[in-house]
A = this chain, B = another copy of it.
Amino acid sequence: MVEQRTGVGVLGLGLMGGSLLRRLAAAGFAAVGWDADPPTGSLAATAGLTVAPSLADLVSASSTVFVAVPLPALQDVFESVAAVAQGQLVVSDLSSVKQPVRALAGRHGFAFVGGHPMAGSAESGFAASDAGMLEGCRWVLTLDEETDLAAWLGVAATVTALGCQVVPTTSAEHDVAVARISHLPHLLAGVLVAAAGQDPLALSLAADSFRDATRVTATRPELVAQMCAANAGALAPEVAATVSRLVASGDALRQPDELVRLFAAAQAVRRAWPPKTPVEQWLPADGDLRQKLLGAGNAGGHVARVTRDGVLVRTPETA
């Protein structure tokens, strides 16, 4: 089930791709990188990493290629990879939205497994890359109806071998989840800053709660806008639901009991976070595996290990 083939390629050596290539190399994989920007490739080579002379060389040296380029570049890169791919190539990506990438990848001949490591930093570029950034992070791998399960397990084996926790879910469910926990915080931080932005008195009184609630504005505006716009389909309904909740909170200002209830409910959820995953379960490689993986991911669980015979999952409770 787990294919032990030669190379793992990383296409694009910015913050995420650079960090992944470093971590693959450190874990003993035959890892090779390439970047469309030659100085970036030189930086990586100087850092002791193996860099292919061309995209075609990278693809021919790899059984799995992780594409780590910005969203707007994905279409061209997928086409370039497909044009030189031979035999059974598995392609994954590291983008923050999955439905739009799934639509792009489906047009090509390679086996595609959408990916999203839940890691990052406010910086960008290879110079900021760091193998430690991916340490123990959750890493979504999408398991859609058209996804090849063997390809999925192969990518999951690589990612778990890097010490990351693989979260199986569908592209659609991923996009709703990240709208809620990543894109919405950016939008809310934006409106919160706007409320105080023209008020020097307010800004001079602002302290920890303002600091924490707006820290995420440090991310590059172009990157955040791109991420949110690409996920507009899943994000727009979440914004609408949040508007309704905020209107309800405003109404509750005249009903202190209701207000206590709202804050207490939020506190209870937040105190139980991050969720613990105390239940270990071995899922044998049988006909039910796909559904069981999705059940584990959607219950808040993850895959900790992949072998030829099956998969070890950890969940909050028995899925």
Contacts and interface: CB of A to CB of B under 8 A. Distances in A.
A182 interface: yes
A302 interface: yes
A246 B256 contact: no
A185 to B, nearest CB: 4
Interface in A11-67: none
Find the residue from A137, A201, A209, A277 having the highest chain B CB count within 10 A: A201
Interface in A268-319: 269-271, 273-275, 277, 297-302, 316
A-side binding surface: helix, strand, loop or mixed?
helix
Interface string A161-193: 000000101000110111011101111111111
A49 to B, nearest CB: 26
Interface stretch (A73-81, A101-109, A210-218): A210-218
Copies of this chain present: 2
A181 B249 CA distance: 17
Given A188-B192, A196-B181, A274 B203 contact: yes
A13 to B, nearest CB: 23
B187 A249 contact: yes
18 contacts: A177-B196, A178-B202, A181-B207, A185-B213, A186-B209, A187-B249, A191-B245, A194-B245, A194-B265, A195-B238, A195-B242, A203-B273, A212-B215, A221-B267, A225-B256, A229-B254, A236-B250, A240-B250
